[in-house]
A and B are shown apart, each in its own frame.
Chain A
Amino acid sequence: MKTYDIVIVGGGPAGLAAAVAAREAGNDSILILERDHELGGILNQCIHNGFGLHTFKEELTGPEYAYRFIKQVLDLGIEYRLNTMVMDIASDKTVTAMNSEDGMFRIPAKAVILAMGCRERPRGALNIPGYRPAGIFSAGTAQRLVNIEGYMPGREVVILGSGDIGLIMARRMTLEGARVKVVAELMPYSGGLKRNIVQCLNDYGIPLKLSHTVVDIEGRDHISAVTIAEVGPGKKPIPGTEERYTCDTLLLSCGLIPENELSRSAGVQMSPVTSGPVVNESLETNIPGVFACGNVLHVHDLVDYVSEEAKRAGQNAVKYISGGCKDAESSEVIELVATEGARYTVPGTINRERMDDLLTVRFRVGDVYKNSFVSVYFDDERVVHNEKRILAPGEMEQIILQKKKLLEYPNLKKITVKIEKE
Chain B
Amino acid sequence: MIYDVIVIGAGVTGSAVARELSRYETNVCVLEKCEDVCEGTSKANSAIVHAGFDAAEGSLMAKLNVRGNEMMDDLSRDLDIPFKRNGSLVVCIHKEAIDGLKDLYDRGVKNGVKGLKILSREEALEMEPNLSENVEGALYAPTGGIICPFELNIAMAENANMNGVDFRFNTEVEDIKKGEDGNWHLRTNNGEYITRYVVNAAGVYADEIHNMVSANKMHIIERRGDYCLLDKTVGGHVSHTIFPQPTRLGKGVLVSPTVHGNLIVGPTAVDLENKEGNNTTAAGIDDLITKAGDHVRNLPIRNVITSFAGLRAHEEHHEFIIEEVKDAPNFIDCAGIESPGLTSSPAIGEMVGKMMKDMMGLKEKANWISTRKGVKKTEGLSIEERNALIKENPAYGTIICRCESITEGEILDAIHRPLGARSLDGVKRRTRAGMGRCQAGFCSPRTMEILHRELGIPYEKITKSGGRSNIVIERTKGEVSGS
B345 at the interface (CB under 8 A from A): no
Q: Which of B263-307 contact A (CB under 8 A)?
A: 276, 278-282, 284-285, 304-307
Q: Which residues of A contact B396 (CB under 8 A)?
A: 100
Contacts of A399 in B (CB 8 A): none
Task: Assess A176 versus B476: contact at CB under 8 Å? Given A120-B441, A217-B279.
Answer: yes
Bound-state CA distance A217–B449 (Å) is: 27
Q: A171 to B228: give the CA distance in the assembly, Å.
A: 34
Tell me the minimal C-beta distance from A326 to chain B in angstroms.
33
A248 touches B472 (CB 8 A): no
Given known contacts A100-B394, A151-B476, is B439 in contact with A124 (CB within 8 Å)? yes
Convert B93-114 into 0s and 1s, putting 1 for each residue whose CB lies closer than 8 angstroms to a CB of A: 0000000000000000000000
Q: Flag if B281 contacts A100 (CB, 8 Å).
A: no
Stretch at the interface among A152-160, A185-193, A194-202: A152-160
Given the known interface contacts A104-B386, A150-B479, the answer about A145 and B397 at a Cβ–Cβ threshold of 8 Å is no
Grouping DSSP codes into helix (H, G, I), strand (E, B) and loop, the B interface class, with mixed when no group exceeds half, is mixed
**B228: nearest chain-A partner, CB-CB:** A127
**Residue in A85, A101, A151 whose beta carbon sits within 8 Å of that of B402 in the complex:** A85
Interface segment among A19-27, A130-138, A333-341, A401-409: the answer is: A130-138
Task: Kindly count the residue-residue contacts between A and B in the assembled complex, taking CB atoms under 8 Å apart.
Answer: 149
**Cross-chain contact B476 with A146 (CB below 8 angstroms):** yes
New A-B pairs, 20, CB < 8 Å, besides A103-B397, A119-B441, A151-B460: A100-B394, A103-B386, A124-B307, A130-B280, A134-B463, A141-B442, A149-B472, A150-B478, A151-B459, A151-B472, A151-B474, A152-B472, A152-B473, A153-B472, A154-B473, A176-B476, A177-B477, A215-B282, A217-B279, A221-B466
Instruction: Please give the distance in Å from B432's CB to the nearest CB on chain A.
Output: 15
A-B contact pairs, 25 of them (CB 8 A): A85-B405, A96-B383, A98-B399, A99-B398, A100-B394, A100-B395, A100-B396, A100-B398, A101-B397, A120-B438, A125-B437, A129-B280, A129-B284, A129-B285, A131-B278, A133-B464, A134-B465, A137-B441, A145-B445, A149-B472, A151-B472, A151-B475, A153-B472, A221-B467, A222-B469
What distance in Å separates the Cβ of B284 from its nearest Cβ neighbour in chain A?
A: 7
* Residue contact A124 to B397, C-beta cutoff 8 Å: no
B387 engages A104 (CB within 8 Å): yes
* B residues whose Cβ falls under 8 Å from a Cβ of A: 228-229, 233, 276, 278-282, 284-285, 304-308, 383, 386-387, 390-391, 394-399, 402, 405, 408, 437-442, 444-445, 448-449, 459-460, 463-479
Chain B residues lying within 8 Å of A138, measured Cβ to Cβ, are 441
CA–CA, A153 and B280, complex, Å: 24
Residues of A within 8 A of B284 (CB): 129
Q: A104-B386, A177-B477, A221-B467 are in contact. Are A140 and B441 (CB under 8 A)?
A: yes
In the complex, what distance in Å separates the CA atom of A103 from the CA atom of B444? 24
**Within the assembled complex, what's the spacing in Å between the Cα atoms of A35 and B397?**
11
Bound Cα distance A398, B442 (Å): 31
Interface residue? A50 (CB, 8 A):
no
- Which residues of chain B are within 8 angstroms of A85 by Cβ–Cβ distance? 398-399, 402, 405
A100 touches B390 (CB 8 A): yes
Interface residues of A (CB under 8 A from B): 35, 83, 85, 87, 96, 98-106, 119-120, 122-125, 127, 129-135, 137-138, 140-141, 144-146, 148-155, 176-177, 215-217, 220-222, 237, 248, 264
Please report the C-alpha to C-alpha distance between residue A102 and residue B448 in the assembled complex, in whole angstroms.
Answer: 25
Contact A149 B445 (CB under 8 A): yes
Chain A residues near B405 (CB, 8 Å)? 85, 87
CB distance from A221 to the nearest CB of B (A): 4
- Determine how close the nearest CB of chain A comes to the CB of B272; give it in whole angstroms: 14
CB-CB under 8 A from B408, the residues of chain A are: 100
A105: B residues at CB distance < 8 A: 383
Interface of A is mostly: mixed
B461 to chain A, nearest CB (A): 12
Known: A104-B383, A215-B282. A222 touches B470 (CB 8 A): yes
Q: A140 CA to B386 CA in the complex, in Å?
A: 32
Expressed in whole angstroms, the minimum distance between the Cβ of B288 and any Cβ of chain A is: 11
| Nearest Cβ on chain A to B31's Cβ, whole angstroms | 19
Asked if residues B397 and A155 are in contact (CB atoms below 8 Å), the reply is no
Is B459 a contact partner of A149 (Cβ separation < 8 A)? yes
C-alpha spacing A137/B460, complex, angstroms: 16
- Contact assessment for B441 and A133 in the assembled complex, using a CB-CB cutoff below 8 Å: no
A residues within 8 A CB of B441? 119-120, 122, 137-138, 140-141
Q: B396's closest neighbor in chain A, by CB?
A: A100
Task: State the CA gap A105–B40 with chains docked (Å).
Answer: 42
Q: Would you call A125 and B304 a contact (CB within 8 A)? A: yes
- Nearest chain B residue, comparing its CB with the CB of A149: B445
- Chain A residue numbers with a CB within 8 Å of B383 are 96, 104-106
- B468 with A141: CB separation less than 8 A: no
Most chain-B CB neighbours within 10 Å: which of A102, A105, A119, A151? Answer: A151
A-side contacts of B471, CB under 8 Å: 134-135, 145, 153
- 4 tightest A-B CB contacts, nearest first: A124-B306, A100-B397, A100-B394, A122-B439
Q: How far is the CB of B311 from chain A (nearest CB, A)?
A: 12
Q: A237 CA to B283 CA in the complex, in Å?
A: 12
Listed residue (A87, A104, A106, A148) with the most chain B CB atoms within 10 angstroms of its CB: A104
